[in-house]
Chains A and B, each alone.
Chain A
Amino acid sequence: MGPGDHVRGEGVEVVVYGDYECPYCAALEARLHGLAARVCFRHFPVRSSHPRAHAAACAAEAAARQGAFWPMHDALFADQGRLEDPHLWARAERLGLDVARFDADRRSDAVAARVREHFRSGVRAGVATTPTAFVAGTAHAGRPGPEFWALFGA
């Protein structure tokens, strides 16, 4: 985990590469949220399977620029069926963001570069599917099994 990463929670450190349109990612996030886990989330939008995943990742990064990464992150995972542009604007408004700024940021080169940087770091780490979670350097790819949850005492 680095200083620029999105991190929350306390407990076992886990780095999650995920995609906002992936249902297994949403399930993983929801369950981790209730455990003793220090979660770092990085974007790995697989556009072929999830055509809105990249736009959603950019929306989360744009929200981060107004200090609202995690609220947007949760809002995206909470309603994966609504990820079109008007839905993203509605979330930004609901979270009290400057919507015009949010919209400009999510389309910016800087935000796209950040998402790409996450994606590349995932590729270099061997990520080939979502979600992939790393705990103590070990990759857990796909829907996590009992051995993964046992790491968190679950």
Chain B
Amino acid sequence: MALAAGEPAPELSLRRSNGDPFTREDLLGKTTVLVFYPFAFSPVCTDQLSIYNEVLEDFRERGATLYGVSCDATYSQTAFRQQLGIDIEQLSDFEPKGETCRAFDVYHPGGFPQRALVIVGQDGVVTWSHQAAKPSDLPGANLIFDAL
């Protein structure tokens, strides 16, 4: 199951869409919501990110920054984001594949992220997490709002 509240966020080895690294340092000083999703362009992930994007402004008002995290390459994530017309920044856990997902304990044995949500506080400590019972389950955004 995903790292529980109270555990420090691990080191991250993620890449932003422009190839820049996204590390643990990037979590500090703000509230971060990491949305781990299995695959770009898959049906449930499509709906999940689309629905969350519709209320992105509400997350911002609550002081939270949302990121989508998957093991897809940055180019795939960018194409996915453009196709959906969404603003949620994407972070790639492509190489070493799934290393950050493993560190958050959300790596599915099938080689993709579990569908999981993790909130990291300004001090870099996990404040809440949720892992869907199965990857096809779509957690409502209300879970995040309730946890913020």
Contact = CB atoms under 8 A, between A and B. Distances in A.
A128 B54 contact: no
A128 B46 contact: no
Contacts of B141: 123, 128
A127 B139 CA distance: 9
Given A124-B145, A126-B142, A128-B138, A48 B84 contact: yes
A48 B142 contact: no
Q: At the interface, is chain A mostly helix, strand, loop or mixed?
A: loop
A129 B138 contact: yes
A128 B50 contact: no
Contacts of A127: 140
Interface residues of B, number: 20
A49 B55 contact: no
A90 interface: no
Contacts of B49: 48
A47 B51 CA distance: 8
A93 B55 CA distance: 34
Given A48-B84, A49-B46, A128-B48, A123 B54 contact: yes
B47 interface: yes
A20 interface: no
A46 interface: yes
Interface of A: 46-49, 116, 119-120, 123-129
30 contacts: A46-B47, A46-B51, A47-B54, A48-B46, A48-B49, A48-B50, A48-B86, A49-B43, A49-B47, A49-B50, A116-B54, A119-B54, A120-B58, A123-B51, A123-B54, A123-B55, A123-B140, A123-B141, A123-B145, A125-B142, A126-B140, A126-B143, A127-B140, A128-B47, A128-B48, A128-B138, A128-B139, A128-B140, A128-B141, A129-B138
